[in-house]
Structure 1
Amino acid sequence: MNNKFKGKAGLLLGMALMCAYGLGVSNSYAANEKYAKTDKLQTPAFNCTADSTWFTNPSMPTEVKQSGADGTSNFCDFYQFSWQAFAYLMASSKDAAGVRNYEDTTQFFELEIQANGSPANSCDDKHGEKTFFVRTMKPEDGGTAFLIPERIGQAGGGATIYDQNGNVVYYDVRFSKNMCDINSIKTQQNFPGGTTELKAAWKVLGPKDDKSRYITIDTQIGSDNKAVTLGMIGFHIAIATPDHPEFVWATFEHNVNVPDCVNPSSTTGWSFTSETCTTDLKNKDPLGIVQCRFNNPFAQSSLTGTPTEICREYPYGSAPGDLKYEENLGDITTLNANVQPYLTNEFAVLRNYFNLGALWLSDPTQSSIMGNQRGSLRLANSVMETDYQDVVISNNPSAFVSNCFGCHNYTGTSTPASGKNTTSGSLSHIFDDIVAGSKQCVDVQASALINSQSQAKQQCPSVCTNSSSFFSWNGQWTNQDAKTGQQLPMTVCGCCGT
């Protein structure tokens, strides 16, 4: 299959799928310098193998294997799960000609928004011929012209980044169709196995970019319908399984996005780092590093701007001293190498992408405190969480750690019914948008027990808007679980899309 899929498109950009991480290299370079030897490092003691069937007969994994000596899943199992999922999503759809599985609307819907920024109904049947990007307005038919951008900000603070050609980066979000079964999901403590959320980052390919090295799409930008080719530069995958309802969070990047902040492998050829600033990194020039203002973008609305200087603060989201650092690094790097012989034909383009890392929980019966997290504890995609890469790990349960689980909070399955991750735990940042866009209602947990109607009138409106600015209180509240009748330790308020 050709890498290029043609069609006009509009983009939903910067909706939160994964949380952002960090503060910028100017604040953390000195502290991270001791990690210089991690670049390109492989640990011979570990050899995470690839399976040829991921590419000869692609299939979406439904569960993480359990290959550990004690019958549990080891780190390699999670990275094999991540690569198998990535291969399937990038494979040609058998049901929709000319598209890859991740953009096949029989499997995944796009998260859509209205022209005013409010959620649209992403679950209706109005998806048009090409649905890769979100339209600025909901069309009545597939022939309505698409325009982009919608949003060009990243998760978290909405930072906007520009490549070395001065072109803005675009984002889009997709999700598995089962998330449209709102009435079923909202009664469950966790999202069903197979629930999937995807987010991609895209750059405008310039004359010097080799299009054969990118997964691409032709589209039109802005009111002048300027034709451009976009290349995929980053891809987030979050998948819930029966054994891991907290989701397995994995991310992939293009290999010429950015250098590592410490010990860059090359001073030239980066999409988001100039030769001058990369040389400053290579030479460890303190003044030059400060002047380059690495990883310090801010929210903007222009399609062109001053190039953003970006570097990767933690290779593979890990640092020496992190829990099972050697195993994590060894499994990621060896698997990235071991898939290479299978990247042929339609998968040849994937030679230019690599798994940066993944994050999951050791014990899903418990909540997502730092001590329960495993994998790349400092995981951050350089083009999707640019200004939140400086992840500082703390074992203080009340401390905020700006990795995936810092923003996508998970309540363990052993917790009473009030801890529903589907509506109250912020595990999914897009489920609220799906609910609001389809004008449906969910019960959102209040922060304290409500004992009277007057108290509910005071607290429930803010409970709803804190969950989503597009929710409003429907006047209902309860201290009982609607499904089991169990008395809850906290109140839930009825919140509906406006």
Structure 2
Amino acid sequence: MHPFTPRPTVRRFAKSSLVLMALGGLSLGCTEEPKVEPPPPNPQTLCSGTFSDGTSIDVESPQPLGDVPLPEQSFCDFHTFAWNQFLYLTQTVQDPNDPVFPTKPRFLSYAPWYNMLQPNGAAAPGAFPGGATTLQVGKLDNKQAGGGQDELIDVSGNTVLYDIRFNAPMYDFIVGQNYFTQADYYAFCQPTDPSQPFTACGNTEQLWLPWGNGTPTSMGSMGSVEVKTAWRQFPANDCPASQMYCAGSGLGLIALHIAQKTPTHGEWVWASFEHLGNTPDCAAGSSTPIAPQSPLGTPWALFDPAKVPASVMETKTCGVTAANPQCNLDPHVGTSGFQQVNVCRTDALPAGGASAANCAVVGSSTQDPNANSGGNVSCLNATLRPKLAGIWQNYQLIGTLWTKGTQPPDQDFWISLFQSAKPGLPEKTAVGFPNLANSALETYLQIGSTAYDPNAPGLSNANKAGCFGCHNPVAQDSDTDLSHFPSKFNDFQSPRVPAEP
């Protein structure tokens, strides 16, 4: 039984050897067993779009959620929550702040980092979203997150670019508290070493970003939301708009991270989506096997079948370990260049789509700490994607991450997979997809991908990977909740310098 599931109350009655009851003037010897009402049926018998509270995803008119529905918060609920928020954030809206492409997905109407964060001495930005929201190529990062700060080159030889955006609650808080310049933020943080991007703060205060006002009976408003996206570059007028979302003619969306802080999950809920044409799985028998073409019948974006040994195509297995490296290799060329390397997914989803085994809702336990999360995500993808219109059918959830139990939004903690004990603070366990990594956003940080290991030995991807590897209080130690927004101040000194957002 999942730890959030209330145990049904059953009254127990002792039997007497003989109870005399007067019925209609007659004395009868009998024992009457009281009727026990059966518990109400659980609406979440399958993980296919219905939450454990009985509500369901509305694909045609998605509504935002401020928290994972209570009271149970089953593992399936988190994956369903991730899909719901994806549908809401990709819903088409009219954006008056974009004079170039006013009709766009909702997440692109959020404030880009360069609207919210300003150079030292700049005036406060205006009301959310702080200016034009048009996707600007010159403001996008060409380096991935993580210690290696590597580039990702697609099969056409073009560099993948990255954008990060913030919703109104997060924007309004940072601007309202005067944390929008490095000097103003450092006045609060009092850094011990200002030369470091993840500097330790000398003060004893913690900056808690807004978490919304959801309650056990109402989901309320959304708290802080960060959306990070990966964009493939295409020659002019060549972005395949029938296959993916294209921002203009030259940029195509291939991956999307959603991180949301909620009242019951101060560690944030992390969800990651990818385009189906990105890359196959490293091993055979999973949901997206190695093949000459992607499931969409198109060439892979990050995997070139002509550049792997024939055995890889025959066995549908691409080695990623140091002993047999065939995929996820070191992308460096010389001291500053990068090359295309074949990419595959190590933490794959199970095959079978909406099979009974994949769709089964399993309570978490010590025997099954991730509670059929992989199967549930496969089931949700197979169930919900066909209901979508147009290009959004071509994106899938690849995983959701949070910590087991609930976590107050204004309390520090430590995560057992990545950190040493912090006396006086609760230990949390990463669950769902503990090693969540996006093949287009954290290519070289995927679990087990040791042919190239940019963070070894401390956070070696041989056995440690996932959002909490970087997004935890010890790793950043910068008093900014779990957001890395202060690292973007570095871009004002050296535009497009790699920075972990």
Q: TM-score range by the shorter chain?
A: 0.5 to 0.7
Partner of 1:368: 415
User: Match for 2:304: what amino acid?
Assistant: S
1:66-100, Cα deviation, whole Å (9 max, x unpaired): 3xxxx431111111111111111111225544122
Q: CA separation in 2, counterparts of 1:410 and 1:192?
A: 17
Residues 313/437 of structure 1: CA separation in 2 closer, same or farther (3 Å cut) = closer
Question: Hey, what's the Cα distance between the residues in 1 that align with 2:386 and 2:316?
Answer: 39
Tell me: CA distance 1:343–1:149, structure 2 relative to 1, closer, same or farther (3 Å): same
Query: What residue number does 2:441 align with?
Result: 384
CA contact (8 A) 1:378 1:389 kept: yes
8 Å Cα contact 2:318-2:344 kept in structure 1: no
Change (3 A) 1:300 1:83: farther
1:190 is aligned to 2:208: yes
Give 1:215's aligned residue.
245
Superposition map of 1:63-462 within 5 A? 63-66=67-70, 71-93=71-93, 96=96, 97-104=102-109, 108-112=110-114, 124-125=125-126, 130-134=132-136, 148=138, 150-156=140-146, 157-180=148-171, 181-182=173-174, 190-193=208-211, 194-205=223-234, 210-218=240-248, 228-263=249-284, 264-268=289-293, 269-276=299-306, 277=308, 279-284=310-315, 290=324, 292-298=326-332, 306-316=339-349, 323-325=368-370, 327-344=372-389, 348-363=390-405, 364=407, 366-370=413-417, 372-390=429-447, 400=459, 401-410=464-473, 423-424=478-479, 427-431=482-486, 433=488
Instruction: Supply the distance in 2 between the matched residues of 1:301 and 1:212 (Cα, whole angstroms).
Output: 39
Query: Cα gap change, 1:298/1:85 in structure 2, threshold over 3 Å: closer, same or farther?
Result: farther
Count of residues in correspondence between the two structures: 349
Q: Secondary structure at the match of 2:247?
A: strand
Check 1:285–1:100 CA distance in 2 against 1; reply closer, same or farther (3 A cut): closer
* Residue equivalent to 1:29: none
Q: Deviations over 1:287-322 (max 9, x none)?
A: 9975645342249999x964221111111499xx99
CA RMSD of aligned residues (A): 4.3
Q: Using structure 2 for the length normalisation, give the TM-score.
A: 0.59
- Of 45, 56, 59, which aligns to 1:55? 59
The structure that is helix-richer by fraction is 1
- CA displacement, residues 383-441 of structure 1 (integer Å, 9 cap, x when unaligned): 1111111259xxxxx97533111111158xxxxxxx9x99526611115647x899xxx
Unaligned stretches of 5+ residues in structure 2: 1-44, 97-101, 180-187, 189-204, 212-222, 294-298, 352-365, 418-427, 450-456, 493-497
Q: Which residue of 2 aligns with 1:19?
A: none
CA distance in 2, matches of 1:119, 1:249: 31
Task: Pick closer, same or farther for the CA change 1:431–1:300 going to 2, 3 Å.
Answer: farther
Q: Work out which of the two has the higher radius of gyration on C-alpha atoms and give 1 or 2.
A: 2
Structure-1 separation of matches of 2:466 and 2:247: 30
SS, match of residue 85 in structure 1: helix
Give the drift of 1:254: 0.4
How has the CA–CA distance of structure 1 residues 425 and 113 changed in structure 2, closer, same or farther, with 3 Å as cutoff?
closer
Answer whether contact 1:391 1:403 (CA < 8 A) is retained: no
Gaps of 5+ in 1: 1-44, 135-146, 219-227, 393-397, 412-418, 439-468, 471-498
**3-state SS in 2 of match to 1:93:** strand
Displacement of 1:205 after TM fit?
Answer: 3.4
Quick one: structure 1 residues 384 and 240, their matched pair in 2 at CA, closer, same or farther if it must change by over 3 Å?
Answer: same
SS in 2 for 1:245: strand
Aligned equivalents of 1:77 and 1:148: distance in 2? 38
Q: Is the 8 A contact 1:168 1:203 kept in 2?
A: yes
Name the CA shift for 1:213/1:246 in 2 (closer, same or farther; >3 Å).
Answer: same
- Normalising by structure 1, we get a TM-score of 0.60
- 1 or 2 for the larger relative contact order (CA 8 Å, sep ≥6)? 1
* 123-132 or 359-368: bigger deviation: 123-132
Letter in 1 for 2:398: L
Within 2, Cα distance between the matches of 1:309 and 1:322?
35
Distance 1:333 1:343 in 2: 16
